[in-house]
Amino acid sequence: MNHKNVFYPLNFNKPHLTGKETEYIIHAVSSGHISGNGAFTKKCHTFFEERYGFNKCLLTTSCTDALEMSAILINIKPDDEIIMPSFTFVSTALAFVRQGAKIVFADSCKDQPNMDETEVEKLITQRTKAIVVVHYAGVACNMDYFIELSQKYNLWLIEDAAQAIDSFYVNQTGQKLPLGSMGHLACFSFHETKNIQCGEGGMLVINHETFKKRAEIIWEKGTNRAAFWRGEVDKYGWVDTGSSFLPSDLLAAFLFAQLEKIDVIQQKRKTIWNLYYEKLKNLEKKEYIKLPVLPEYATNNAHMFYFICKCDMQRQELINFLKNQGIWAVFHYQSLHKSNFYEDKYKGKQLPYCDFYSNSLLRLPFYYDLSNEDINQIVNKIHDFFLKSH
């Protein structure tokens, strides 16, 4: 195909379909159970519990919901503080703010956007209740350090693993542990921009025994309905706070079709990631950009491809340049401590590395159906931009 004379938009994301999604939705419809916690929901739970050894899983309608469930489960009281990175999606903070917590933002690392563990201990006070780590781009945070810190100060450790499906952390003893298995609670996203998706979806992983019973109740509108269905109680009723956090089994059916193909999806995404990396290396050598850095304890699940530009202005010029060629590159996140919503509430110090990534990180189109031809086209345009304008 000749791309030269046609407007050929390369979107930033394009949700991939494995082919079985509608078939499984039809199964769910004809089974007569299309509300939550049906057969496909259970299949998804079992998939995760068996493949990753997660203690207990509950599908939710989003990762935001899973984070909200976490905030309810840890019993936040007024003035409780939660430590988390400022370089993250709004939901990480919003879920805890809604329960009345004060957010204490930590800076990113110098060489990569994850929260800098060496900045965290000095932020702990009498009121600190939990640390929320975010595995940005599916790259693990330094979990040995965070586990130790949470034990030392008796804090809850929560993983925002929204981007981290099928990614791992290699611990001090060389064990390869799945992200989402190390925090007391962990939250995943199946939003259409994630590796495995069902449009809107998420999951809470409960790794700590204390939360197991109560999580199920909060999930089902504050009732003990799940225990009732298992025959553990003879009637169900209102026993706690909660909401309707469980997704319809139609969504679980869609999700299960994706999960069955997780290895194929991951393989393809890693190939795309490596191709980008190889083809952009020479621009890093010439010091135009910086490519992602992976700590030795982290694996790459090819959630996204990003690189670091010199500055805000250069990034905007590149975005405009690519947009004119029909290529959508995007940036995120804007430092949460400087957001309209949180700026006046923020009393902490400057977070220069977070601001740096806010101003310089650029994400390239990244999805399963991106062809080699597409990648070549994108990379060639990026080369044109740097090599012809410098």
Ligand X SMILES: *Cc1c(COP(=O)(O)O)cnc(C)c1O
Minimum distance from residue 351 beta carbon to ligand X (Å): 17
Nearest to ligand X of 197, 224 (CB atom): 197
Nearest to ligand X of 180, 202 (CB atom): 202
Q: Which two tokens stand for residue 212?
A: 């197991």
d(CA 185, CA 150): 13
- Rule CB under 6 A: say whether 86 interacts with ligand X: no
**Which regions of 35-152 does DSSP assign to beta strands (E)?**
56-60, 81-85, 102-106, 128-134
- Rule CB under 6 A: say whether 301 interacts with ligand X: no
Task: Give me the torsion for CA of 68, 73, 156, 136, rounded to 10°.
Answer: -20
Nearest to ligand X of 138, 242 (CB atom): 138
Per the CB < 8 A criterion, the answer to whether 116 and 110 are in contact is yes
- Rule CB under 6 A: say whether 197 interacts with ligand X: no
- Rule CB under 6 A: say whether 16 interacts with ligand X: no
Nearest to ligand X of 155, 162 (CB atom): 162
Q: Looking at 142, 189, 197, 207, which residue binds ligand X (CB under 6 A)?
A: 189
Helix, strand and coil in the chain, % to nearest 5: 40, 15, 45
- Rule CB under 6 A: say whether 92 interacts with ligand X: yes
DSSP 235-299: S--B-S---B-PPBHHHHHHHHHHHTTHHHHHHHHHHHHHHHHHHHHHHHHTTS-B-----TTB-
Q: Looking at 191, 225, 315, 381, which residue binds ligand X (CB under 6 A)?
A: 191
Residue 330: Cβ-neighbour burial (10 angstroms; 0-12, 13-18, 19+)? middle
Which among 87-95, 214-222, 231-239, 243-251 is the span making contact with ligand X, rule CB under 6 A? Answer: 87-95
Footprint of ligand X on residues 116-145 (CB under 6 A)? 134
Nearest to ligand X of 70, 377 (CB atom): 70
- Rule CB under 6 A: say whether 160 interacts with ligand X: yes
Nearest to ligand X of 203, 283 (CB atom): 203
Minimum distance from residue 194 beta carbon to ligand X (Å): 6
CA distances to 163, 172, 349 from 175, in Å = 21, 7, 36
d(CA 385, CA 258): 37
Nearest to 113 by CA among 143, 140, 87: 87
Footprint of ligand X on residues 20-79 (CB under 6 A)? 62-64
- Rule CB under 6 A: say whether 85 interacts with ligand X: no
Q: Looking at 163, 223, 224, 258, which residue binds ligand X (CB under 6 A)?
A: 163
- Rule CB under 6 A: say whether 162 interacts with ligand X: yes
Residues that bind ligand X (CB under 6 A): 62-64, 88-89, 91-92, 134, 160, 162-163, 189, 191, 202
